[in-house]
Amino acid sequence: MSTCFFIGHRDAPDSILPSLSAAIETRIVEDGVDQFVVGNYGRFDLLAAQAVRKAKKQHPDILLFYLRPYHPAERSFTPAGFDGSFYPPGMETVPRKLAIVRANRYMVDNSQFLIAYARYTVSNAWELVEYAMKREKKGLIHVKNLARVSEYSVLV
């Protein structure tokens, strides 16, 4: 089993959907990824889940999981269209305001692939992609950032 995690900005544009779908198809066909994990907190997450659901039509054996940053007793629902959810071990003691950041870090530490859309250099998504790129240099994960930072003259 290979796992691919997604991280990106809340304001990701719809225009990245074709690139996102192509990256998912590559992970499935060339790398054998069969599990995809995504949050449910912004536009990039919604686009990633949408693209995986579309890929499931041609690859029905792949699975899409919702990453739960908060304890299941607090938020027990799994959004529609997911095959299940995942709550990382050890999250019970993490302060609520750090839960999303910690859950995302856990997934980078425990996934073989990361598909990202990080273009703002001052953001949690950017920091996580930088962290993943350090792990990539050690051969621990493969990172694909769909944002082309050079396109933007001003980074927030």
> What is the per-residue pLDDT across 43-61, written as a single tens digit (0 to 9) for each?
999 999 999 999 999 999 9
pLDDT over 70 (residue 154): no
Q: Which CATH number fits domain 3-151: 3.40.309.10, 3.40.50.1860, 3.40.50.450, 3.40.50.300?
A: 3.40.50.450
> What is the per-residue pLDDT across 121-153, written as a single tens digit (0 to 9) for each?
889 999 999 999 999 999 999 999 999 644 443
| pLDDT at residue number 8 | 95
pLDDT over 70 (residue 25): yes
| pLDDT at residue number 141 | 98
Helix axes 43-58, 17-31, angle to 10 degrees: 50
- In degrees, rounded to 5, the angle at the alpha carbon of residue 44 between the alpha carbons of residues 132 and 110 is 30
| pLDDT at residue number 111 | 98
Q: CA quadruple 126, 90, 40, 18: dihedral positive or negative? A: positive
Mean pLDDT to the nearest integer, 1-30: 96
Query: pLDDT category, 77, cuts 50, 70, 90?
Result: confident
| pLDDT at residue number 151 | 45
- Residue count (the chain): 156
Sequence-distant (≥ 6) Cβ neighbours of residue 41 within 8 angstroms: 10, 100
DSSP 88-136: -TTGGGS-GGGHHHHHHHHHHHT-SEEEEE---SSSHHHHHHHHHHHHH
Helix axes 99-109, 124-137, angle to 10 degrees: 20
> What is the per-residue pLDDT across 79-125, written as a single tens digit (0 to 9) for each?
889 999 999 999 999 999 999 999 999 999 999 999 999 998 889 99
| pLDDT at residue number 46 | 96
CB 51 within 8 Å of CB 21 = yes
